[in-house]
Amino acid sequence: MLSLAPSAAAQGSRSFITGFELGSLSEASATGGSVQSAIVRSGSYAYRAHPVYSNQQIGFYSRSAGGTLRQIFKSSRFYMYVGALPLTGSVSIVRIAGAATFNPEVDLNSDGTLTLADSWYPSIAKSQHALTADGLWHRIEFDIGYGLRVYVDGVLWASGSSTTYPAAASIAFGAGESPTSVNATCDLYFDDILIDSGSFSATGLPGDGHVALLKPTGDPLNLNSWTGGAGSLSSLWMPVRNVPGAGLSASSATNTSQIKNGSHGTNQDYKPTVQTYLAAGVPSGATINAVMALSSDGQESSKGSAKTGSLWIDSNPSQSTGYTFDFGDANGVVGTFPAGWAPHFGPVSSNPSVNLSVGPSVAVRKASGSNVDVDFLGVYVDYR
């Protein structure tokens, strides 16, 4: 059964996907809030920012081997549920950050209106329409390019600025400080996020989307020196499907907590199959907007050179290249999750042609070094 999508599995300008389906804040860098399951739009989890006279945000970045941050975050589509508007002032619900980006953002005001702002101008444009605590999820599309535009449920609410904004190294969602307010009290939920490294004016508004997570279901024939955390040579797929992650320190690792590669060989791939799209809840006849591999990994020793790896989707669809990374971001050693474990992401394939009834395979490679561990491996899917 094929998805109703264009035939090419292009690695276009869509650059990141998340639905918070790893079930913890460790999927990103957070200054508060929670990943919870009581109020969600898709899947099992969503992010809640519920500050009380404070600020809470969750931020995403993509770090390559050697520690360089990829400049891949710019325009975004996400869904927001308003439990309670800011008591006073405003909060930043989405912002890209970096010295050269001018930090463009969308602020939610206490009256429910939205304000476009950046580091130079605290109020570029303000919407006439307003959000309320109506018990509904609303699609927000923040288009950053030559100027700024914010759409709610497909309708343009505000636009302005004559600045051309570059892509950023990070993006944050939640109830952050705005240019005019700090220490807010509100209750906001976020889910089903899709990021573009460019402007939606070039690629088109993403429109509706739901995020699903495909988790491993079987091992490849060749394990390439990968084993279970305690040395098992079978069912390696089981410890890399735990949500949240269940990784342990090297001395405590079990065959159900993580997998490891202790060899000194290079370019050793582990390629498990994952759930079919249908089994993960993607409806028959759905269109696949984008797919992305993700992992949670670390190193058992911080001595010597960084242990490098790469990550990609190997089949259905097949990505020609992956993203490189340092296991654990070469920062400390693995302990009880999340201590010492780092999230990593592969490139995004936009509008791929896939067979919904066949499970993709995802690949993680140990390119150099030894004694590296992985406690989650899977594929994010954005579909409509």
Q: Which two tokens stand for residue 333?
A: 């050693």
How far apart CA 22 and CA 208 sit, in angstroms, is: 22
Domain final residue pick, 175, 200, 225:
200
| CATH number reported for the structural domain that contains residue 367 in this entry | 2.60.120.260
Range of the domain at 236: 212-383
288 and 379 co-located in one domain: yes
Count CB atoms within 10 A of the CB of residue 156: 14
Inside any domain, residue 13: no
Non-local (6+) Cβ contacts of 183 within 8 A are 51, 53, 54, 55
Q: Are 93 and 173 a contacting pair, CB within 8 Å?
A: yes
155 and 230 co-located in one domain: no
pLDDT tens sequence across 173-217: 999 999 999 999 999 999 999 999 999 988 889 999 999 999 999
DSSP letters spanning 262-284? ----SSEEE--EE--TTTTTPPT
Inside any domain, residue 17: no
Count CB atoms within 10 A of the CB of residue 272: 27
pLDDT tens sequence across 127-146: 999 999 999 999 999 999 99
pTM higher than 0.85, yes or no?
yes
Q: What are phi and psi of 89, to 5 degrees?
A: 65, -135
CA atoms within 13 A on the CB side of 7: 0
Domain count, the chain: 2
134 and 231 co-located in one domain: no
Inside any domain, residue 311: yes
239 and 181 co-located in one domain: no
How far apart CA 141 and CA 149 sit, in angstroms, is: 8
SS3 (DSSP) at 25: helix
Is the preceding peptide bond at 51 cis, omega within 30 degrees of 0?
no
How far apart CA 181 and CA 321 sit, in angstroms, is: 43
Inside any domain, residue 1: no
Q: What is the predicted pLDDT for the residue at 98?
A: 82
The low-confidence residues of the chain, meaning pLDDT below 50, are: 1-12
Picking from 154, 193, 192, the residue whose alpha carbon sits closest to that of residue 41 is 192
96 and 229 co-located in one domain: no
Inside any domain, residue 10: no
Q: What is the predicted pLDDT for the residue at 335?
A: 98
Pairing mode of beta strands 216-218, 90-97: unpaired
How far apart CA 374 and CA 50 sit, in angstroms, is: 32
How far apart CA 363 and CA 272 sit, in angstroms, is: 7
125 and 273 co-located in one domain: no
| CATH number reported for the structural domain that contains residue 120 in this entry | 2.60.120.200
